[in-house]
Homo-oligomer: A and B are copies of this chain.
């Protein structure tokens, strides 16, 4: 099982599943399946999504559960000297 941040990345950009699906060239229901964790993206789709959101692939997909982006951001800012 691979975890992903598709839903939150999409929501932050104010996109519908349909918008996102068209942007990366898949069926809009495929986005729904991925967001619900019904199955994993292919490597190819994972790269397309990461590139579309302009994030490294491991910021969008991970074999371990993600922290929230808020948590991660706060920790990074706290760690800055």
Give chain A's interface residues, CB within 8 Å of chain B.
1-2, 40-44, 46-48, 51, 56-58, 61-63
| A44, B58: Cα distance in complex, Å | 12
Most chain B beta carbons < 10 A, residue from A42, A43, A56, A58: A43
Check if A63 sits within 8 Å of B47, measured CB to CB: yes
* Across-interface contacts of A47 in B (CB, < 8 A): 2, 61-63
- In the complex this chain forms, how many copies of it are found? 2
Tell whether, in the assembled complex, residue B56 and residue A44 are in contact, meaning their CB atoms are under 8 Å apart: no
CB within 8 Å for A40 and B42 given contacts A47-B63, A57-B57: yes
Closest residue on chain B to residue A2 by CB atoms: B43
8 residue pairs A–B, Cβ–Cβ below 8 Å: A1-B44, A41-B43, A42-B42, A43-B43, A44-B63, A47-B61, A56-B58, A57-B58
